[in-house]
């Protein structure tokens, strides 16, 4: 019963959410399920916070790799959580000041560091080792030249539109890029449908702690 009850609950909840798109009378039931889902998420966040504190506490206690970084993490988690709960998170509070004067600069720092990794990955990906890499390299060059004034300012007005970088850039972004994004979205949607069916039919049992 330990296995069957969660499987039956997952099947019934998933089936009701699917049938809601076709049977409007089920809307109150699915709305209640969505509210329960939000409650479960809230408790999952609490469990995640306690697990984060537990893992970093044992990392400090056992002096594992990079354990000194666990000190500021624990202090900030407890400090920000306590300040937000006790003093509120509205504008003008200490929590608001800490969030916008500490969190935002740290996020900007992390994203600025990611720019170097993106540049390194682009250099490795854009080497013309085969036909696909060559096409990717040419498309990237055309898009970059069509995006900046350097690639468009020197072209005279009498040059036809089909010989201008910005026109090719627009075509690549509107046609080629859109087609690729739609293909990825369709493939992702099929993957979600496949995974959902595996859960509903009891084939996928990872939520039960089974492989």
Across 76-165, where does the E strand assignment appear? Answer: none
Give the pLDDT mean for 3-32: 83
Tokens 């790799």 appear where? 65
Which residues touch 47 (CB under 8 Å, ≥6 apart)? none
Tokens 């000190």 appear where? 71
Give the pLDDT mean for 96-106: 87
Instruction: Read off the pLDDT band of 211 (50, 70, 90).
Output: low
Instruction: Read off the pLDDT band of 208 (50, 70, 90).
Output: low
Q: Characterise 159 by phi-psi region: left (phi > 0), alpha (psi -120 to 50), beta (else).
A: beta
Percent of the residues in the chain that have a pLDDT greater than 90, as a whole number = 17
Q: Characterise 203 by phi-psi region: left (phi > 0), alpha (psi -120 to 50), beta (else).
A: alpha
Q: Which two tokens stand for residue 185?
A: 């979205």
Q: What is the pLDDT of residues 102-137, one digit of tens each?
A: 888 888 888 888 878 877 777 776 676 777 777 777
DSSP code of residue 150: G
Q: What is the pLDDT of residues 177-187, one digit of tens each?
A: 888 899 999 99
Q: How many CB atoms lie within 10 A of CB 143?
A: 20
Give the pLDDT confidence score for residue 193 in this predicted structure: 87
pLDDT at 73 over 70: yes
DSSP one-letter string for 50-76: HHHHHHHHHHHHHT-TTGGGHHHHHHH
Give the pLDDT confidence score for residue 109 in this predicted structure: 87
pLDDT at 25 over 70: yes
Q: What is the pLDDT of residues 162-180, one digit of tens each?
A: 667 777 888 888 888 888 8
Give the pLDDT confidence score for residue 49 in this predicted structure: 92
Q: What distance in Å separates the CA atoms of residue 96 and residue 66, rounded to the nearest whole number?
A: 29
Q: Which H or E run contains 162?
A: none
Query: Could you give the dihedral angle defined by the CA atoms of residues 143, 146, 149 and 150, in that order, rounded to the nearest 10 degrees?
Result: 70
Give the pLDDT confidence score for residue 210 in this predicted structure: 59
More confident residue, 154 or 191: 191
Q: Which two tokens stand for residue 138?
A: 């040419």
Give the pLDDT confidence score for residue 56 in this predicted structure: 92
Of the given ranges (14-28, 31-45, 121-135, 185-199), which has the lowest mean pLDDT?
121-135
Per-position b or e across 5-31, b if 16+ CB within 10 A of its CB? eebeebeebbeebeebeeeeebeeebe
């Amino acid at each position: 019963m330990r296995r069957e009850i969660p499987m039956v609950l997952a099947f019934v909840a998933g089936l009701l959410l699917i049938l809601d798109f076709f049977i409007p009378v089920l809307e109150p039931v699915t709305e209640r399920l969505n509210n329960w889902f939000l409650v479960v998420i809230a408790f999952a966040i609490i469990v995640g916070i306690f697990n984060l504190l537990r893992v970093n506490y044992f990392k400090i206690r056992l002096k594992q790799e990079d354990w000194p970084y666990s000190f500021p993490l624990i202090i900030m988690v407890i400090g920000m959580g306590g300040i937000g709960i006790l003093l509120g998170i509205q504008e003008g509070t200490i929590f608001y000041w800490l969030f916008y004067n500490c969190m935002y600069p740290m996020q900007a720092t992390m994203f600025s560091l990611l720019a170097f990794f993106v540049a390194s990955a682009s250099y490795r990906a854009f080497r013309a080792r085969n036909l696909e890499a060559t096409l990717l390299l040419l498309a990237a060059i055309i898009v970059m030249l069509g995006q900046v004034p350097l690639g468009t300012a020197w072209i005279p007005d009498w040059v036809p539109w089909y010989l201008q970088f910005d026109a090719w850039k627009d075509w690549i972004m509107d046609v080629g890029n859109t087609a690729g994004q739609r293909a990825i979205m369709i493939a992702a949607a099929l993957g979600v449908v496949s995974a959902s069916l595996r859960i509903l039919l009891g084939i996928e049992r990872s939520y039960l702690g089974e492989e």
